[in-house]
Amino acid sequence: MLEQEAKTFEQKLPDLLQSDTGKYVLIKGDLVIGTFVAVVDALGYGYEKYKEQPFLVRQILPAQQPLNFANNYLFC
C-alpha cells in the first residue's frame, strides 16, 4: 500500500542523511513533503493535509527500524 512512498524514501535517503539525520520525513507518493524534528509534528501535518489517504513518515537514520502507527495515534 505504501510501495511508492517506501521506494521514494530509499531513493532520497542519501540526500536526507546529509542534512536531516535524526529528523522525520513525510512522503506522499514520489514527493518528499517535508522534514520535522518531532514525529508527532510529521504525523499531525500528514493527517491534517491527507486525511484518510496513506502517507509515510520515517525517521532519517542510516539503519532503519520499523515503525507502526495507528490512525488514532494523535488522539490517544
76 within a domain of the structure (yes/no): no
| pTM of this prediction exceeds 0.75 | yes
Compute mean pLDDT per 10 residues along the chain, 76 residues long, and list them.
93 96 97 97 96 94 70 50
74 within a domain of the structure (yes/no): no
Range of the domain at 19: 3-61
30 within a domain of the structure (yes/no): yes
69 within a domain of the structure (yes/no): no
73 within a domain of the structure (yes/no): no
Domain count, the chain: 1
- By CB atoms closer than 10 A (0-12, 13-18, 19+), residue 27 is buried
